[in-house]
Amino acid sequence: REKLGFVFQQYNLVSTLTALENVELPMIFRGVPKNERKRKAMELLKLVGIEDVAERKPMEISGGQQQRVAIARAMANEPKILLCDEPTGNLDSKSGRQIMGIIKELNEEKGVTVILVTHDPSMAEFAERIVKLRDGRLQDVP
C-alpha cells in the first residue's frame, strides 16, 4: 500500500467524495492527521494542475480531470512505484498526452518508477524502456 500507487483506465474514484476527498482517502487509511492530509491532497491536485476542481465530485468534472485526480490519489502515500493500467485509454488524444506528461514528470522529477501497460504505441513513446509480453514472456523492444 505504501510502496505502490495504482492508476486505472476507469479511474475508480469514489463518486460520493469530492476530488480532494478522493486524494485524501489513502492517507486516511494510513492514519495521517486531517490538517496534514488536506494540505498534501491540495498540493497533489496542484501538482497535476486541477486544484480548481478540489470541491467537485467525479461526475462534475471531465474524464481528463478525473484521471488527474486518480494520479494525485495514487501519489498520496509517496509510492516508489506507480503501476498504470491503460491510464489514457478513456481519454481523447490531447488529454492522453497531458496525462502522460504528468506521469513522465513524476518519473523524472520525483524519481517514481513507472510501470505502464498500454496498447497505444504513441503512449509508449514516453517510455525509457519498452517491453512486450509475447507468449507469456517479456521481451525488450529495441
Q: Which domains does the chain have, with CATH numbers?
A: 4-140 (3.40.50.300)
The three-state secondary structure class of 96 is: helix
Stretch 74-87: mean pLDDT: 93
In this prediction, residue 142 carries a pLDDT of: 80
Retrieve residue 1's grid coordinates. 500500500
In this prediction, residue 2 carries a pLDDT of: 67
**Is it the case that residue 59 has pLDDT exceeding 80?**
yes
Stretch 72-83: mean pLDDT: 94
pTM: predicted TM-score of the whole model, two decimal places: 0.88
Q: Per-residue confidence at 95, pLDDT binned at 50, 70, 90?
A: confident
Separation of first and last alpha carbons in the chain: 33
